[in-house]
Amino acid sequence: MDTSLIRARSRLYRNIREFFDSRGYLEVETPCLAASLIPEPTIKNFSTLYQSEYLGSREMYLVPSPEVFIKRLIARGCGNVYEICKCFRNAEQIGSLHNPEFSMLEYYTMDFDEKDSIALTQELLRETALPGCPDGLKQPFEVISMAQALNKATGLELEAIQSPKVIRQKAHELGVLDDPSVSEGWDDTFNRLFLNFVEPSLRTDVPVVLTGYPAQIECLAQNDGIVKRRWELYFGAVEIANCYLEETSPERVRESMRREFARMASERALTGEVIPDNDPEYWRIFRSFPRCSGVALGLDRLLMLQTGRQRIDDLILFGFSDIL
């Protein structure tokens, strides 16, 4: 381990805290252990057991992101907040861009829309840059909608491939799905197109923001017709941040959580994977939830890009492959 990299992380975190503190954001610290999570079928979870001689035992989960707690704080009116914390995703493949335990920065800004959150994130990258950070990372973001990027890369219209049958046929014609009659979710087929064509077509010399993710990829961002008001930030083909214009309708949150929990439970019942408890009352906090935008940014990846490294292992002390 190169000690300059340990110092780089410490310096980056200081810069981030200065950035948000000077803008009046409140730094918060939420638990790593939760009794229930927001169901996300594509994120596998770590579970552990709370054991008490008197209270009995209870399954607990390591948070895959601090969202579940931060949203409670926002509902209580805490205003603009940020958190730097550890997150845990099980079965996360160990590779140059993944470690099952990783560091995340989340920041939520009241009354912000996509344009505002993109501008803030652009300032964040520029103002927190470490000495020696590649110039490209400090450049203005190129903003492109997913529909435009898809069309540029494949010639397909997002609107025309909304049915699972049609998108599978198109993916088959483009050579990324062998059997178009296979039963797979629309989101999986879309990701075949996205990873094979769209992602490789993105510019790598400047940060790129993809806006308007398909609404059929479920998440707690607001809907806008066939897309979600969600954006993702890429640099050098590496995904660094994800942002939602947060869903504020209690009914839609309840519906989404119910659907996602059902999907997760049915998929995992077959594999025996951990099914984290769902809090059936969680949606109630959205009765007093302000309009806001929330960004989650992978700190190990940002640090990797800022220091010009190729693997997040280089930046993580005692990475998973070392401790297994």
Partner 1 sequence: MIKAGQIDKGTALLIKGQPFICIDREFVNPGKGSAFVRLKLKSPTTGQVLAETMKSQDNAEDITVTDEDFQYQYNDGEYFHFMNTETFEDVPVPMSSFPDYQFIMKEGETFRCTVYNEEILDIQVPSKVVYLVAEAEEAIKGDTVTGATKFVTTETGLRVRVPIFIKQGEKIRVNTETKEYLERVNN
Footprint on this chain of partner 1 (rule: CB under 8 A)? 40, 42, 91-98, 176, 178, 184, 187-188, 191-192, 194-196, 199, 213, 217-219, 232, 239, 242
The smaller minimum CB distance to partner 1, of residues 196 and 249, is found at: 196
The smaller minimum CB distance to partner 1, of residues 81 and 221, is found at: 221
CB of 125 to partner 1, least distance (A): 18
Strands 81-88 and 26-27: parallel
CB of 242 to partner 1, least distance (A): 5
Reading the block at residue 148, the tokens are 């435009």
The smaller minimum CB distance to partner 1, of residues 40 and 246, is found at: 40
Q: Phi-psi category of 63—alpha, beta or left, where left has phi over 0 and alpha has psi -120 to 50?
A: beta
The smaller minimum CB distance to partner 1, of residues 110 and 176, is found at: 176
Selection from 105, 119, 120 nearest residue 24 by Cα: 120
CB of 194 to partner 1, least distance (A): 6
The smaller minimum CB distance to partner 1, of residues 15 and 196, is found at: 196
Q: Are 245 and 148 in contact (CB under 8 A)?
A: no
The one-letter amino acid at 14: R
CB of 41 to partner 1, least distance (A): 9
Residues 6+ apart with CB under 8 A from 258: none
The smaller minimum CB distance to partner 1, of residues 5 and 219, is found at: 219
CB of 98 to partner 1, least distance (A): 6
Report the chain's C-alpha Rg in angstroms: 20
Q: Are 298 and 241 in contact (CB under 8 A)?
A: yes
CB of 149 to partner 1, least distance (A): 13
3-state DSSP assignment of residue 213: strand
Strands 142-145 and 208-214: parallel
